[in-house]
């Protein structure tokens, strides 16, 4: 079974802190994604990566950056956390041969910024 893990289920940080959210997948997937999910707004794509050291902006990249140094790991970084970044963060991965493949999600990290 595909397994996507995220470093924390719940995280509480203070405004201005640098926050790292880690995501690891064990199926040798080429593609990895970071979403945030908010009530009434659904899932929104923050960043994605089709290969190691490669990254592309999604629909809402402002205030975030990412790092993909190894194929299995995709990190989301909040350089200076703000209260409007309080949200559920979901990482996903997919196989790269077909760009229209299904995505496999991690359990999510609920981040609260005080």
Is residue 73 classed exposed, middle or buried when 0-12, 13-18 and 19+ CB atoms within 10 A define those classes? middle
Q: How far, CA to CA in Å, does 104 sit from each of 19, 81, 88?
A: 23, 27, 16
Kindly tell me which of 36 and 68 has the beta carbon lying closer to other proteins.
Answer: 36
C-alpha 46/C-alpha 31 separation (Å) is 14
Interstrand relation of 10-13 and 109-113 (parallel, antiparallel or unpaired): parallel
The binder of other proteins chosen from 71, 73, 95, 110 (CB under 8 A): 110
Kindly tell me which of 62 and 99 has the beta carbon lying closer to other proteins.
Answer: 99
Kindly tell me which of 43 and 77 has the beta carbon lying closer to other proteins.
Answer: 43
Phi, psi of 85 (to 5 degrees): -100, 5
The binder of other proteins chosen from 92, 93, 111, 113 (CB under 8 A): 92
Site residues for other proteins, 27-66, by CB under 8 A, read 33, 40, 42-43, 45, 48, 58-59
Joined together, the tokens standing for residue 12 give 């509480």
Kindly tell me which of 16 and 107 has the beta carbon lying closer to other proteins.
Answer: 107
Q: Which positions touch other proteins (CB under 8 A)?
A: 4, 33, 40, 42-43, 45, 48, 58-59, 88, 90, 92, 99-100, 102-108, 110
């Amino acid at each position: 079974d595909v397994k996507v893990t995220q470093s924390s289920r719940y995280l509480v940080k203070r405004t201005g802190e640098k926050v790292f959210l880690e995501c690891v997948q064990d199926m040798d997937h080429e593609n990895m994604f970071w979403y945030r999910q908010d009530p009434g707004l659904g899932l929104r794509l923050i960043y994605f990566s089709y290969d190691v050291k490669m990254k592309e902006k999604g629909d809402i990249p402002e205030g975030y950056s990412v790092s993909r140094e190894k194929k299995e790991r995709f990190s989301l970084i909040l350089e200076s956390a703000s209260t409007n970044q309080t949200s559920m963060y979901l990482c996903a991965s997919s196989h790269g041969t077909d760009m229209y493949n299904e995505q496999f999600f991690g359990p999510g990290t609920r981040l609260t910024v005080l």
